A and B are shown apart, each in its own frame.
Chain A
Amino acid sequence: MAIFPPAERIWWHQPIHRVELIWIIVAFLWGLVMFFMMIYWHAAGQQNLSNESYRTTPEAYSAKTEAMIAKYKVREDNGIPVVKPPAGSDVYLLGRVWMWYPQLEFEKGQSYRLHLSSLDLQHGFSLQPVNLNLQVHPGYEMVLTITPTSAGQFGIVCNEFCGLGHHTMTGRIYVVDRHTGT
């Protein structure tokens, strides 16, 4: 039994029972399916990470963010600038204790190059209710091309612990439908 040495000294010559062999083969093939599924999705799926990222510094990234705000700010919400960048442009969102800055306004169906970085600690970018979740590091700038396909008001929640104000760290993205104006 399992708590004693094997009864047969030469146990590696024992043939494998058919039912075990079938399961091993099925499980192995399933592993291959799962492996190739990820590759397939990079080719045919719509949701992938671009792997485009850069090293940066809080000062440099902050400067790029402020430059964008200066160009495309449309209003303020509770003292936080709301920025409406043109479609296809580079959009900068920064996370810092304890806010996502600035707020963004997108047009439904248009694509934007969204940049993410942190000024201090690791943060979790969690777009709700879309439920897109990305990790944001200080010193690293992640870029992704995003296409909002639903209109409305979306929240950004921080889901990486970043200190005692972690649960107050939120942001907002508005998506406007050009045709209906909402």
Chain B
Amino acid sequence: MAQEKFRICPTTGLRVDLSAQTLIKWNAVAGIVFLAIGGLFGLSVALTRWPAVHLLPMDWFYLALTAHGLDVLLLWIIFFEIAVLYFAGAVLLGSRLAAPRIAWTAFVMMLIGGITTNIAVLQGGSTVMFTSYVPMKAAPHFYLGLILFAVGALIAVFVFFGTLVVAKEERTYKGSLPLVTFGAVTAAIIAVFTLACGAIILIPTFLWSVGVVNAIDPLMYKLIWWGMGHSSQQINVSAHVAIWYAIAAIVLGAKPISEKVSRTAFLLYIFFLQLASAHHLMVEPGLSSEWKIFNTSYAMYLAVLGSMIHGMTVPGSIEAAQRAKGFDRGLFQWLRKAPWGNPAFAGMFLSLVMFGFLGGISGVVMGTEQINMIMHNTLYVPGHFHGTVVAGTTLAFMAVTYLLIPLIMQREIRFPRLARWQPYIFAIGVAGISLFMMGAGTLGVPRRHWDITFADALTKYEFPSSAFLLLGLNGIAAICAALGGALYVFIAVSSVFFGKRIADVPATSAPRVAPPVPLSPVGTYGSAGTLRIPGTVVLVGVFFVAFVLYYFVNWKYLAEIWPLR
């Protein structure tokens, strides 16, 4: 067995396994490369949907849209999440990574799988959208690449679980797992369910694409595919919430106001995820309303409760930490005097606010059985999920990168002044994308559609001019977001490879378990009765009022369409 090599992080005092460090770096870099590719595809899609620009011809548009979904929703996010898992498992527990060689095998499988599916799409024979709904058929290597990627990711997840076992046996930490690691465990458990669903549906579909299986039922395909597809969003949520806590801890010394509440909120994600695919099937034939209502709500609302809890506890912990440090004046001095010039903090807080307001509210409303009828497959749908997975998850991942690069990859951030602006540029762009697409969807604009002027159609339909305006605004917002994304890729990659090295501190032989200075956590927040987070209460109150109003406004919109039963 190779001798484990460790170093001590000068900032946190954590013992960092060098093989984990290398794997974190390469998984993150792979993710960022796919983000760049997928982001370019996304920009080209937005510039095509902007009718005045209409950048891509028809076949390239649908190809680009397929590639965009694949590269950002699957490859960028999951590569980065594997990096986060290794960080939360090995680094935060001061443990060696279990089986680094297997972790490298997983990495190679994921890389080959991702490249294979990209090649399939670029060859033009697999323009089926990332969802590849049956009976539309892609080339066999489209499915094979996805299966290989999923198996690789699953292996990486098990390396993470193995690391938890190793850490426990080798006693590299005392007591319970840190909250961030707990969140990562949540993400990993959900990942097992997700990837199992993916295998269950993609393997038969692959066999169908080569002629071994006769037919795949389209409704069953959709149900199981979304068992993978939406559950993977729950992985994203668990991961980005864990990252919010991590950033708050590292940047501000914030302590969770209640370990019990935060951990229970993560557990809610695991328990109530089952059949989350239901909210993608609200207007399908062949499924009963009882099934739809139960799954979209009992399953979803208790998981939603988890998110709503984090929506208070994360800013609450920041407010409490800031007040304990002396920023105690008025309702919001704690927030005004927060380190907005630190891109990790800025990205984290923007991600929190936008995920809640833009992504979260729109998602729950759209997942309401009957309201779904006025939103399904309109541009509202991508408007919603750019609010969750881009404004939420991607921005949080960008934010934590600014900490991972100095702490894990031991490089200084290059172009720090650009880095200060990057989260804001990206956030403004993505907020625009989300809002403008939702607006266009409310006017009925379809998703996945090359031309809403219907120039080549036999019968025409005329969308209102406001729809065209919104698509134009979306295009501009996409340019802004692409700029923010390009800045991130540029800063991250140049820092990782060319940033000034940060000095090493050699490890002692005994593992350290106690957190040392200089990163000292803010002390306890007092007993149950004395926690003061009035600013957070106001923010949460505004969120709640917005949620309730927006929810009922949409019932009113629904009531205005033709009666049907």
**Does the CB pair A132–B12 fall under 8 Å?**
no
Write out the residue numbers on chain B whose beta carbons fall within 8 Å of the beta carbon of A38: 293, 297, 368-370
* Measured CA separation A145–B563 after assembly (Å): 8
**Does the CB pair B136–A30 fall under 8 Å?**
no
**A45-B254 contact, Cβ under 8 Å, with A16-B260, A53-B286, A78-B459:** no
Q: Mark B529-565, 1 if CB is under 8 A from A, else 0.
A: 1010100010010001001100100010011011111
Cβ-closest chain A residue relative to B547: A30
**Does the CB pair A2–B540 fall under 8 Å?**
no
**A139-B218 contact, Cβ under 8 Å, with A17-B258, A133-B373, A170-B454:** yes
Cβ-closest chain A residue relative to B563: A46
A81 at the interface (CB under 8 A from B): no
Cβ-closest chain A residue relative to B182: A2
**A48-B364 contact, Cβ under 8 Å, with A28-B305, A146-B564:** no
**A20-B248 contact, Cβ under 8 Å, with A48-B370, A131-B378:** no
Contact among A11, A128, A160, A167 for B444, CB-based, below 8 A: A128
**Does the CB pair A47–B448 fall under 8 Å?**
no
* Measured CA separation A159–B372 after assembly (Å): 14
**Does the CB pair B376–A35 fall under 8 Å?**
no
**A168-B521 contact, Cβ under 8 Å, with A5-B178, A24-B309, A161-B448:** no
B524 at the interface (CB under 8 A from A): yes
**Does the CB pair B373–A138 fall under 8 Å?**
no
Write out the residue numbers on chain B whose beta carbons fall within 8 Å of the beta carbon of A148: 562
Write out the residue numbers on chain B whose beta carbons fall within 8 Å of the beta carbon of A133: 283, 372-378
Write out the residue numbers on chain A whose beta carbons fall within 8 Å of the beta carbon of B179: 2, 6
Contact among A45, A48, A140 for B285, CB-based, below 8 A: A140
**Does the CB pair A23–B312 fall under 8 Å?**
yes
Write out the residue numbers on chain A whose beta carbons fall within 8 Å of the beta carbon of B135: 120-122, 138
Cβ-closest chain B residue relative to A31: B301
Q: Mark B30-71, 1 if CB is under 8 A from A, else 0.
A: 000000000000000000000000000011001000000000
Cβ-closest chain A residue relative to B527: A15
Cβ-closest chain A residue relative to B298: A35
Cβ-closest chain A residue relative to B537: A19
A62 at the interface (CB under 8 A from B): no
**A20-B564 contact, Cβ under 8 Å, with A121-B135, A141-B285, A164-B59:** no
CB of B515 to closest CB in A, whole Å: 5
Write out the residue numbers on chain A whose beta carbons fall within 8 Å of the beta carbon of B456: 165, 167-168
The B interface, classified by DSSP as helix, strand, loop or mixed, is: loop
**Does the CB pair A1–B254 fall under 8 Å?**
yes
B246 at the interface (CB under 8 A from A): yes
Cβ-closest chain A residue relative to B58: A164
Write out the residue numbers on chain B whose beta carbons fall within 8 Å of the beta carbon of A130: 561-562
Interface size class of B (residues with CB under 8 A): 35 or more
Cβ-closest chain A residue relative to B291: A51
B1 at the interface (CB under 8 A from A): no
Q: Mark A22-42, 1 if CB is under 8 A from B, else 0.
A: 011011101110110111011
B177 at the interface (CB under 8 A from A): yes
At the interface with chain A, which of B168-176, B229-237, B415-423?
A: B168-176
B261 at the interface (CB under 8 A from A): yes
B352 at the interface (CB under 8 A from A): no
**A45-B559 contact, Cβ under 8 Å, with A4-B178, A19-B537, A144-B564:** yes
* Measured CA separation A35–B290 after assembly (Å): 11
* Measured CA separation A18–B529 after assembly (Å): 7
* Measured CA separation A160–B218 after assembly (Å): 13
A65 at the interface (CB under 8 A from B): no
**Does the CB pair A6–B259 fall under 8 Å?**
yes
Write out the residue numbers on chain A whose beta carbons fall within 8 Å of the beta carbon of B301: 31-32, 34-35
A139-B217, A162-B136 are known; give 11 further A-B pairs, CB within 8 A: A1-B253, A5-B173, A9-B175, A16-B258, A19-B316, A30-B544, A37-B555, A53-B285, A135-B283, A159-B449, A164-B127
Chain B interface residues (CB < 8 Å from chain A): 12, 14, 58-59, 62, 92, 127-129, 133, 135-136, 173-180, 217-219, 222, 245-246, 248-250, 253-261, 281, 283-289, 293, 297-298, 301-302, 304-305, 308-309, 312-313, 316-317, 364, 368-370, 372-378, 442-444, 446-452, 454, 456-464, 515, 521-522, 524, 527-529, 531, 533, 537, 540, 544, 547-548, 551, 555, 558-559, 561-565
A-B contact pairs, 15 of them (CB 8 A): A14-B260, A17-B528, A19-B312, A24-B261, A47-B558, A47-B559, A129-B464, A133-B374, A138-B135, A140-B285, A147-B564, A148-B562, A164-B62, A167-B452, A168-B456
Chain A interface residues (CB < 8 Å from chain B): 1-9, 11-12, 14-20, 23-24, 26-28, 30-32, 34-35, 37-39, 41-42, 45-51, 53, 55, 77-80, 99, 103, 116, 120-122, 124, 126, 128-142, 144-150, 155-172
Lowest 9 A-B CB distances belong to which pairs?
A155-B461, A159-B446, A31-B301, A142-B285, A53-B285, A2-B245, A159-B377, A15-B528, A46-B563
